[in-house]
Chains A and B, each alone.
Chain A
Amino acid sequence: MQAASLDQVFAALADPTRRAILSRLAGGEASVSDLVAPFSLSQPTISKHLKVLESAGLVTRSRDAQRRPVRLNAAPLEQAAGWIGDYRRFWEASFDRLEDYVQTLRQEEQKS
C-alpha cells in the first residue's frame, strides 16, 4: 500500500463519524450495509466517508467478493501515534545532552 501522508490521516480522523466507523471496524470487517444501519446515515454518505478513509490508507476494501467488506488498516494510525511520540523523543534527546553537560558541571565543581 502506498503510504498516505500524515495530513491525510489526520484530516480523515478529524470527523467523528469516520472515527466511529474505524472503531466499529476495530471489532472486525463489515460491509457497507453493516455500517449504514448503526450510523443512521444514507449509503452514499457512508460511502463518501469510506472513500476518505480509504485514500488515507486507514481502510481497505477487498475486490473479490460481491459484498466487498471493509477492513481496518492499522499502519497509518500507528504512524500517527508514533508522531505524537516525537515530543517524548525531544526530551530524551535533550536529556542525552544534559547528561554530558551535568558531568562537565560536576567536574568543574570538584575542581574548585
Chain B
Amino acid sequence: MNQDEERRSITVTRDFDAPPSILFRAHSAPEHVRRWFGPKGWPLTLCEMDFRVGGKWRFAMTGPDGKQNPAFGGEYLDIVPDQRIVYDNAFELPGAEKMVTTVTFEPLPGDRTRLVARTVFANLAMHATHVGAGIESGINSGLDQLADVVAELRGAQG
C-alpha cells in the first residue's frame, strides 16, 4: 500500500471466538447482517444484498429519532468464501465519494478468527462524512491537512 493510500485508510481489527466460516456467513446475507451491522440503536432498516462479485448492495440505518438516514451502498468487488470480501461504498447523495472496504478473515489457532476491516477513503474529508451518525456538515479540504497539523502538533508538544 502506498503512503498516500495509507493516510486515507482506517483499519479496525478484532479477534473472534469462532472459525472464519462463521464470520463469513455472518457477512453473507441480509438475515445475518441486519443482526449486527452498525452501532446499537441504529438498526439497519434497509438491507439489500446481491451477494456475489459484481452484485450490488444497499443499506440504510434508522437513528434513535426514528428517521431513516440516507441510503448507502455499492458493489461487491471480490468475494473469496471464508477469506475475503471487498466492496465499494458511497452514500446515495449528490457528490458522494466512494470508499473501498476490504474485510479479511484470518484463521487463528483454537478455531478463532482475526477480522480485519480496512477502508480506503477517496480523501480524508470522507472520514467525517461516513461516520454513520448522519452527520453532514460543511467539511472542506481542511481535513486533508488536519492529520499533518495534528501530527506536527504532537511532535512539537512531545
Residues on A lying within 8 angstroms of B by beta carbon are: 6-7, 9-16, 19, 22-23, 26-28, 72, 74, 77-78, 80-81, 83-84, 86-106, 109
A10-B138 contact given A87-B10, A94-B39, CB 8 Å threshold: yes
Q: Is the CB–CB distance between A87 and B138 below 8 Å?
A: no
| 15 pairs, A vs B, C-beta closer than 8 Å | A11-B140, A23-B149, A26-B155, A83-B131, A87-B10, A87-B119, A87-B127, A87-B130, A91-B12, A93-B40, A94-B36, A94-B39, A99-B16, A103-B17, A105-B26
Residues on B lying within 8 angstroms of A by beta carbon are: 10, 12, 14, 16-18, 22-23, 25-26, 32, 35-40, 115, 117, 119, 124, 127-128, 130-133, 135, 137-143, 145-150, 152-153, 155-157
Contact of A14 among B12, B141, B150 (CB under 8 A): B141
> Which among A9, A12, A84 has the greatest number of chain B C-beta atoms within 10 A?
A84
Q: Is the CB–CB distance between B146 and A13 below 8 Å?
A: yes
Q: Is the CB–CB distance between B16 and A26 below 8 Å?
A: no
- Which residues of chain A are near B155, meaning CB under 8 Å? 26
A83 and B150 alpha carbons, distance in the complex (Å): 13
> Given contacts A86-B133, A90-B39, could you give 9 more A-B pairs where the C-beta distance is less than 8 Å?
A10-B142, A13-B143, A87-B10, A87-B130, A93-B39, A98-B36, A99-B17, A101-B26, A106-B22
Q: Is the CB–CB distance between B137 and A77 below 8 Å?
A: no
Contact of B16 among A12, A27, A77, A98 (CB under 8 A): A98
Q: Is the CB–CB distance between A10 and B143 below 8 Å?
A: yes
Contact of A84 among B22, B115, B128, B133 (CB under 8 A): B128
- Which residues of chain A are near B14, meaning CB under 8 Å? 92, 95, 98-99
B19 to chain A, nearest CB (A): 8
Closest to B157 in A: A74
A99 and B112 alpha carbons, distance in the complex (Å): 12
- Which residues of chain A are near B143, meaning CB under 8 Å? 10, 13, 80, 84
A7 and B139 alpha carbons, distance in the complex (Å): 7
- Which residues of chain A are near B139, meaning CB under 8 Å? 10
